Amino acid sequence: MEPCRSLALFAGSLALVCMLVALSTNFWIVAIGSTSSAHTGLWPSEGSVAAGYIHVTEGFSIMAALWVLVSMVILLLSFFIPLLSAPGHGPLVSAITAFAAVLFMTVAMAVYTSERWGQVPEPHIQAFFGWSFYLGWVSVLFSLCAGALTLGAHCSARQSGYEAV
């Protein structure tokens, strides 16, 4: 149980860092032209208006980061508060919130991917996804690992009370 919870805490921390870095950087799309290059992210520069799918991606990504944060706080507290480490309490709630984060971040990334994939680029400009975009998908994988490890910690915990008899 302890190795699973420790690994889940590590994977969740990596997921949170990846989400926050992906959200705060602006290398989601990189465009290279014949004489110059540019990059853009989720947060439009001052004076420009963002498309609707950008707002959806922002909102779902922020909610995913909050769910991962809640999951990691509950998991961290389960190390120190015996009531939360009891079967059915902390690890299970932490796993559920981690899986909720996976769902929210998957929706955010799928919306962004589908909208950007369908845009027709200019013939003399090569546009492709940047490292911030891929970091968003990596955070989905880390969140999924954190949820699975936490669920494994919950399932491998010793049963107390009547169920153990």
Structural domain includes residue 78: yes
Structural domain includes residue 17: yes
d(CA 160, CA 151): 17
Give the CA angle between residues 28, 148, 81 to the nearest 5°.
Answer: 110
Structural domain includes residue 132: yes
Structural domain includes residue 104: yes
The mean-pLDDT minimum among 3-7, 90-94, 123-127 falls in 123-127
Structural domain includes residue 133: yes
CA 56: distance to chain centroid?
15
Structural domain count of the chain: 1
Residue numbers of the domain that contains 130: 2-25+51-152
Task: State yes or no: pLDDT of 37 exceeds 60.
Answer: yes
pTM (2 d.p.): 0.83
